[in-house]
Chain A
Amino acid sequence: MKFKILPILTVLALLAVPAFGQSNRLTIAGSTTVLPIAQAAAEAYMDLHPEINISVRGGGSSVGIASVMTGTANIGNASRHVKTKELATARENGIELYENIVANDGIAVVVNPSNTINGLTTAQLKSIYAGEVQNWKELGGTNKPIVIISRDTSSGTFEVFNKLVMKNVPVAASALKLASNNAVASTISNTPGSIGYVGLGYLNDSVKAITIDKVMPTKKTIQSKEYPIARTLQMYTNDEPTGLTKKFIDFILSTEGQKIVEEQGFISLN
C-alpha cells in the first residue's frame, strides 16, 4: 500500500466551501442582552439593503467573543468588557479584539409584581444574593421566602452584577441560574417571592423593577451614572471594522440606529 496523500489533501481542500470573504453576509453572535438591539438593527438594515443577509444569534457574551476569535462571526455581542485571558488568546492567534460601544444599559433588579417591596440598597441586594437574608419580612416585606434568580457564570450580565453588586462574594448555592434575560423575566413573573436582574430592554409589565439606593433605573439616572448598576453594551470585531461590518456598526451608531436602541428599551449613546 503506497500512500498518495497530496492528491487526497488537494481534493479535500477543493471540496471545502470557503466561508470567508462573502461580502453580502454578516454573522452576529453573543450576548442575549444585546440580542434585541442586534436583531432590530439587522431587520432595519436588511429592509434598507435587501441584497444583504444578516444572521443574528445569542449564546452569551463569552460565545460572542469566542465566535470573533474563531472567525465564525463577524461581530461578537457582549454585555461585559473583554477579559485579559481572551485578549491574550486573541493576540496570540492574530486577532485584535476591537470594542465598538453601541449602547448604555442598566441592570434592573426585578421582583414579582405581587411583592410589596419597592426598593433595596446595594448592601441589602448583596445580602440577598449571598444567602444571608432569606425572607422578605427581614426587609420590611411580607413573610415569604426569597427565591433568588441569577444568571449562569458565562453570562456577561452575571459578570457585571458580580463585579458591581457582589464584589466577588459568591452567589448563594440555592440560587436558580438561568441562561437568558428572557428566562429570568419569565420565571420572576410566575414566581411570587422571587428576585432577579435583567437588562433594561427586558423590562415589561409582568415584572416589577425596584429602586436601588433609592434610584430607579431610567435613561436619565443611567446617563448621569446615578443608578449604581450601569454598563455599556459592546459589539466586538476583529480589528477596526471594515466593509459591511463597518457599514452595519455605523448604522447602529447613526441617529436612526440609536433610535432603534431606545425603542428596544436601552439607553442611546447620545
Chain B
Amino acid sequence: MKKSFSIILLVIIVMSTNNLIAETKLKMEIWNRWTYHQIDGDVTQNEMAVKRGYFRLEPQLTNNVKGRFNLDFFSDNGSPNGAGLKMKYAYLDFANLLPLKDSKLTIGLMKTYFGTIYDWSYPTIDKDPSDKYKFVSSTDYGMGVSGYFPQGYGTYAVAVYNGEGYKKTSGDINTDMNYLANIRVSPITGITLGGSYMFKSKNDSQATDREEYNMIAGLGKFAYGQATISAQYLTKTTSYPNDTLSDVTTSVVSIMPIYKINSKIELVARYDMYDPDTDVDDDGYNTAIGGLNYYLARDSKNSPKLMLQANYQMKTYEDDNSDDESTMMLQLRWIFSGKIK
C-alpha cells in the first residue's frame, strides 16, 4: 500500500508541477508552562517547562500545490534528554485537481478530520477531547479529499489512513486501512452542526487479538456576538471479532463556553464527562476547567503572536475511593512567522 501511495504521489506531482514557484511560510510556536498539581491537597507536581514547540514550513510549490511540514518538540520525562521530537505533518495539498470547486486532495502525514481535533486551537491548555481520551491521533499517514460547500455553508472530508498515528508508530499496526468521513454545516450564521465517523482497527483481521473500533463524533456550536458555546459527544465501540469478549462502549461529553471580553481578553470554561465503559458504573471521571486567555500581541491577520493562558482544572472521579485532583496551569505561548518569497 505504501508503494502505491508513492506512485500516486509521483504521478500527481508530475501532473501538477509544470512551473515551480518558490514561496514558503515559516512558523515557530513555543509553549512555556508552569504546572501545579495536587491530589487531595498533596502537591504532586510543581514544575516549569518548555512543554511544546512546533516548527512549520509551508512551501507553495505551484499555484495548485502546497505542502506542510511540521516538527513537533515535546517534553518527555521518559527520554534521557527530557524531550522528544516527532514529525507531525508532512503532506501535500493539491487544489483544482478534482472536478469539485473549493476542494483539495491531501496526501502524506496529514490531519485526522475527526470531531474538532483538526482545527483545535487550544482555547484551554488541555487537549481536544478526541485526543485527550485517546479516540484518534491528531495526524496520521493517509490520503483524503476535503473541501467547502458553496457559499461557505460547511465543510466535508473523506480519508483513508494507516491508523498508526504519528507518535506511537507500530502501536496499532496491521494490514488494514482506517476510513473516515466528516461533515460540518452552518445552515444559519453562527449555528454549526457536524458529525464524524471513523473505523479503526488493531492487529490483523485473522488475529485472535483483533480489535475493531467504530467511532462517532457529534458536534454543535453556537456563536453570537462575543459568546460561543460548543458541545461535543464522542462514542467509541470496541469489538473483538475473533474473541468472545463483549463489546466495550466509551463515551465523552464535552461542553465549552467562551466569552470574549474584548480583543485582548477572553474567558473560557470547559466541562468534560468521560465514561470509559458505559456498562460499568462509577468508572469514569469529570473534568471542569475555568480559564482566561490574554492576547498580548497579534500579527497583521490578527492571529495570536503572544498569549498568556491561565487554567484551573478540577478532576473528580465517580468512584468515591479516588481522590479529586486539581491543577493550576499558566502558559505563555509565543508564535512567530514569516514568508520567504
What residues on B are CB-neighbors of A91 within 8 Å? 152-153, 186, 189-190, 192
A5 within 8 A of B: yes
What residues on A are CB-neighbors of B190 within 8 Å? 91, 93-94
Q: Which one, B198-206, B223-231, B242-250, is touching chain A?
A: B223-231
A48 within 8 A of B: no
What residues on B are CB-neighbors of A173 within 8 Å? 19-22
A62-B301, A169-B19 in contact; A177/B341 too (CB < 8 A)? yes
A92 within 8 A of B: yes
What residues on B are CB-neighbors of A168 within 8 Å? 63-64, 96
Q: Which one, B73-81, B126-134, B171-179, B257-265, is touching chain A?
A: B257-265
- Binary flags per residue of B1-37, CB closer than 8 Å to A gives 1, else 0: 0000000000000000011111100000000000010
CA distance A17 to B263 in the complex (A): 9
B328 touches A169 (CB 8 A): no
CA distance A169 to B17 in the complex (A): 10
Contact of A9 among B22, B267, B301 (CB under 8 A): B267
A171 within 8 A of B: yes
What residues on A are CB-neighbors of B22 within 8 Å? 173
What residues on B are CB-neighbors of A3 within 8 Å? 312, 326, 328
Contact of A16 among B150, B228, B264 (CB under 8 A): B264
A12 touches B292 (CB 8 A): yes
CA distance A1 to B327 in the complex (A): 11
Q: Which one, A79-87, A197-205, A228-236, A246-254, is touching chain B?
A: A79-87
Across the interface, name the chain A residue whose C-beta is closest to B224: A94
Contact of B267 among A13, A89, A94 (CB under 8 A): A13
Across the interface, name the chain A residue whose C-beta is closest to B188: A91
A165 within 8 A of B: no
B152 touches A95 (CB 8 A): no
Smallest distance from the beta carbon of B26 to chain A beta carbons, Å?
15
CA distance A86 to B300 in the complex (A): 16
Smallest distance from the beta carbon of B135 to chain A beta carbons, Å?
22
CA distance A166 to B339 in the complex (A): 23
Across the interface, name the chain A residue whose C-beta is closest to B64: A168
A-B contact count (CB 8 A): 130
A130 touches B154 (CB 8 A): no
Size of the chain A interface, CB-CB below 8 angstroms: 49
CA distance A20 to B155 in the complex (A): 30
A66 within 8 A of B: yes
Smallest distance from the beta carbon of B42 to chain A beta carbons, Å?
11
CA distance A86 to B302 in the complex (A): 14
What residues on A are CB-neighbors of B228 within 8 Å? 93-94
Q: Which one, A35-43, A67-75, A109-117, A213-221, is touching chain B?
A: A67-75
A87 touches B151 (CB 8 A): yes
B262 touches A18 (CB 8 A): yes
What residues on B are CB-neighbors of A89 within 8 Å? 152
CA distance A95 to B22 in the complex (A): 34
A88 within 8 A of B: yes
B152 touches A72 (CB 8 A): no
A265 within 8 A of B: no
A70 touches B23 (CB 8 A): no
- Binary flags per residue of A3-21, CB closer than 8 Å to B gives 1, else 0: 1011011001100111110
CA distance A59 to B151 in the complex (A): 25
CA distance A177 to B339 in the complex (A): 11
What residues on B are CB-neighbors of A172 within 8 Å? 19, 21
A162 within 8 A of B: yes
CA distance A93 to B302 in the complex (A): 15
A168-B96, A170-B63 in contact; A153/B23 too (CB < 8 A)? yes
B263 touches A88 (CB 8 A): no
What residues on B are CB-neighbors of A69 within 8 Å? 302
Smallest distance from the beta carbon of B13 to chain A beta carbons, Å?
14
A96 within 8 A of B: yes
What residues on B are CB-neighbors of A95 within 8 Å? 189
A85 touches B63 (CB 8 A): no
CA distance A92 to B263 in the complex (A): 18
- Binary flags per residue of B82-115, CB closer than 8 Å to A gives 1, else 0: 0000000000000010000110000000000000
A184 within 8 A of B: no
Smallest distance from the beta carbon of B121 to chain A beta carbons, Å?
12
Across the interface, name the chain A residue whose C-beta is closest to B20: A173
CA distance A87 to B192 in the complex (A): 13
A131 within 8 A of B: yes
A34 within 8 A of B: no
Within 8 A of A (CB), among B142-172: 148-155
B301 touches A66 (CB 8 A): yes
Smallest distance from the beta carbon of B330 to chain A beta carbons, Å?
11
What residues on A are CB-neighbors of B221 within 8 Å? 92
What residues on A are CB-neighbors of B36 within 8 Å? 1
Across the interface, name the chain A residue whose C-beta is closest to B155: A88
Smallest distance from the beta carbon of A198 to chain B beta carbons, Å?
18
A78 within 8 A of B: no
What residues on B are CB-neighbors of A1 within 8 Å? 36, 38, 43
Interface residues in chain B, defined as those with a beta carbon under 8 Å from any beta carbon in chain A: 18-23, 36, 38, 43, 60, 62-64, 96, 101-102, 148-155, 184, 186, 189-190, 192, 221-226, 228, 260-265, 267, 290, 292, 294, 298, 300-302, 310, 312, 326, 328, 339, 341
Q: Can you show 16 pairs from A to B with CB atoms below 8 A apart?
A: A1-B43, A12-B292, A18-B262, A63-B300, A63-B301, A72-B298, A84-B151, A91-B152, A92-B184, A92-B192, A152-B23, A153-B60, A168-B63, A168-B96, A172-B21, A173-B21
Nearest first, the 4 closest Cβ-Cβ pairs linking A and B are A87-B152, A94-B223, A94-B190, A88-B152
